[in-house]
């Protein structure tokens, strides 16, 4: 696959088959993840492949609760199965992700060492490029994943289980598996709407 095809079809995948995902395959993706840049090339990152039953249980319970609270707050209900609209498919996929979170084949937790005297964005900028490389590499190998953040609701317990040392932050937790559905074209607003030349208001889609 061309890199541009990988990028254009790298949808967030939230539904996985039961097929196991080997450490070796995850390592193939992580070897590409570490090609990413980091501040001063410090590479202060740690990728934790999580497989233990205890962690699956903790995350499964937490993600179900997190989504239940969020869905109640946002008044979201599970769309009927015959609703094929994009938003219905998106909300259904969120329901399915949390309902099956405890049986996801594997998770990869991306951690970064907090850089002293630098703003948080700097730490983030030193881990998210590696995460995106991982996501693209996984897509190329037929694996699906999605960035998730609800681990924050059980972050201390999770860090303790994994033994994350002081000073390290969890940047995101990615469930990984073979997709149940299909990879497909992603939908984004045109880059021209977000790009300007010389002046903020002079976007390529609306030049002054």
Ligand X SMILES: Cc1cc2nc3c(=O)[nH]c(=O)nc-3n(C[C@H](O)[C@H](O)[C@H](O)COP(=O)(O)O)c2cc1C
- Per CB under 6 A, the segment of 16-24, 25-33, 108-116, 142-150 that binds ligand X is 142-150
Helix (H, G, I), strand (E, B) or coil at 47: strand
Residue 4: count other Cβ atoms within 10 Å of its Cβ: 8
Do the Cβ atoms of 109 and 145 come closer than 8 Å?
A: no
Closest to ligand X by CB, 14 vs 159, is: 14
Residue nearest to ligand X (CB): 12
Site string for ligand X, 95-114 (x = CB under 6 A): --x-----------------
- Which has the closest alpha carbon to 33: 104, 123, 138, 106? 138
94 binds ligand X, rule: CB under 6 A: yes
- Per CB under 6 A, the segment of 11-19, 28-36, 45-53, 129-137 that binds ligand X is 11-19
Residue 85 CB-density burial (10 A; 0-12 exposed, 13-18 middle, 19+ buried): exposed
Smallest distance, Å, CB 113 to ligand X?
Answer: 19
Size of the site for ligand X (CB under 6 A): 12
146 binds ligand X, rule: CB under 6 A: yes
- Per CB under 6 A, the segment of 54-62, 103-111, 140-148, 193-201 that binds ligand X is 140-148
- Per CB under 6 A, the segment of 8-16, 24-32, 130-138, 199-207 that binds ligand X is 8-16
Size of the chain, expressed as the number of residues it contains? 208
125 binds ligand X, rule: CB under 6 A: no
Do the Cβ atoms of 184 and 9 come closer than 8 Å?
A: yes
Q: Binder to ligand X among 1, 186, 194, 204 (CB under 6 A)?
A: 186
Give the span between the Cα atoms of 191 and 205, in whole angstroms.
Answer: 9
Per DSSP (E only), the strands in 58-117 are: 106-113
Residue 189: count other Cβ atoms within 10 Å of its Cβ: 8
- Per CB under 6 A, the segment of 73-81, 148-156, 157-165, 192-200 that binds ligand X is 148-156
Closest to ligand X by CB, 167 vs 185, is: 185
Contacts of 111 (CB under 8 A, 6+ apart): 45, 46, 47, 48, 127, 164, 168, 169, 170, 171
176 binds ligand X, rule: CB under 6 A: no
Interface residues toward ligand X, by CB under 6 A: 11-12, 14, 94, 97, 146-150, 186-187
């Amino acid at each position: 696959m061309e890199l541009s095809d990988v990028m254009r079809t790298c949808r967030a995948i939230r539904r996985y088959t039961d097929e196991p995902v080997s450490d070796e395959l995850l390592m193939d993706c992580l070897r590409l993840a570490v090609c990413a840049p980091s501040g001063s090339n410090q590479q202060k990152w740690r990728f934790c492949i999580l497989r233990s039953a205890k962690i699956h249980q903790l995350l499964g319970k937490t993600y179900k609760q997190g989504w239940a609270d969020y869905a109640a707050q946002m008044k979201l209900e599970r769309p009927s199965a015959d609703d094929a609209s994009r938003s219905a498919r998106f909300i259904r996929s969120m329901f399915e992700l949390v309902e099956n979170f405890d049986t996801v084949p594997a998770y990869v937790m991306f951690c970064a060492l907090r850089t002293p005297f630098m703003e948080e964005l700097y730490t983030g900028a030193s881990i998210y490029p590696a995460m995106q490389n991982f996501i693209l590499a996984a897509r190329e190998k037929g694996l699906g994943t999605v960035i998730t953040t609800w681990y924050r609701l059980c972050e201390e317990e999770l860090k303790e289980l994994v033994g994350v040392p002081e000073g390290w932050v969890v940047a995101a937790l990615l469930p990984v598996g073979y997709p149940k559905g299909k990879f497909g074209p992603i939908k984004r607003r045109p880059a021209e709407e977000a790009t300007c030349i010389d002046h903020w208001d002079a976007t390529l889609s609306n030049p002054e």
